[in-house]
Amino acid sequence: MHSGTSLTVLSEEEQLLQSTVRRFAAETVAPLVRPMEEAAQYAPGLLEKLAELGLLAIEVPEEYGGAAGSFFESILAVEALAEVDPAVALIVDIQNTLSVNALLRWGTPEQHRHWLPQMAAGMLCSYALSEAGSGSDAFAMESRAERTADGYRLHGRKLWISNAREAGLFLVFANLDPAAGYRGISAFLVPKGTPGLTVGRLEHKMGICASSTCEVLLDDCHVPADALLGEEGKGYRIAIEVLNEGRIGIGAQLLGLAGGAWKHAARYAQQRRQFGRAIAEFQAVQFELAEMATQIEAARLMVYNAARRKDAGLPFVTEAAMTKYFVSQVAESVASRCVEIFGGNGFVRDYPAEKYFRDSKIGKIYEGTSNMQLMTIARQLLADPIAP
């Protein structure tokens, strides 16, 4: 499919990264997709291979073992992986757009020296924000933090935490001062194995099945004072700003998903024969593929634009919300049409179409539902007298 760089031409370094990750996805990830899907877990050694390629610390400085790349390069990597498996792309997305970003921006030099080399070497950090009663209303969380003589004690139950089974570190949000409302929320770096932290039940999901989604239990979990990320009461700001960037990452994941589904649909349409010719020769199928490609091109421009704005230090909150909202629609639409082009074969697991369709649905839900994106867009635009 057309590479779609009419918004912004990729530099030589960006093109090299994109081609390298696409080759890795095709040669290393593709053979593992179905086994990982059926086992509902990542293949042994996959994290190490992602780390060797530098994909778990794209923006981390070289002195800590990272690639010293840009946010846009993280987006390119997520997109390229998602073309083959959105579940594997989610590892790179969460690690870079959420975890590394939070640590780079709010971590102390000591926290950088301690955690970033480990993350670059393959340790995943899981983002533990959501709870049973605080999904879209994330700051209604009931998890609590209490000061102790030498640190903090954490109590609570987190739900729907991605990569929890594989994580070696958890970025946990808990309220240190409930009377202050969301201004009491603080963020803590909690290593796996800390007494009182338990990874609980694994969720059995519709899609992205290889990615673990678990509850994380905090029962009198004691952490030292230097586990605090940023300042006390600033957790809400960390969560908001990181999620604004993370939505661009989810847009990249869904963009890659749509691109992968299109490629499979186009290939199948050229191979499948009915009435004596390939179904790609029928105008109805050609129009389907053309409309899908047009949607993907529009989505790519939105993802790339939002990422470039972030790297340039320009306002991007509205663009990120628009990207998450629009690209999630495109991914679901393209994946659904892919199933239809495959016909009966699109409905069975012997072919890739049904997995893309199942994987696409979460795009409208996690890291901010579509309704929450629309709310953000409306508020941002109405606050600007000259928008859009």
Do the Cβ atoms of 38 and 88 come closer than 8 Å? Answer: no
What is the rounded distance in angstroms from the CA atom of residue 108 to the CA atom of residue 225?
12
367 is catalytic: yes
Q: Identify any residues that bridge with 161 across adjacent strands, giving them in sequence order.
A: 214
Distances (CA, A) of 2 to 14, 111, 220, 259, 356: 17, 43, 54, 10, 20
Do the Cβ atoms of 186 and 234 come closer than 8 Å? Answer: yes
> How many alpha carbons fall within 13 Å on the CB side of residue 169?
25
> 288, 319, 332, 367: which is the annotated catalytic residue?
367
Please state, as a whole number, how many other Cβ atoms lie within 10 Å of the Cβ of residue 137.
Answer: 11
CA–CA–CA angle 59, 65, 71 (5° rounding): 5
Do the Cβ atoms of 201 and 169 come closer than 8 Å? Answer: no
Structure tokens of 75? 């987006």
Distances (CA, A) of 196 to 66, 128, 223, 319: 31, 15, 10, 40
What is the rounded distance in angstroms from the CA atom of residue 179 to the CA atom of residue 227?
23
State phi, psi for 250 to the nearest 5 degrees.
-65, -35
Indicate the residue type of 125: C
State phi, psi for 232 to the nearest 5 degrees.
-60, 135
Active-site residue numbers? 367
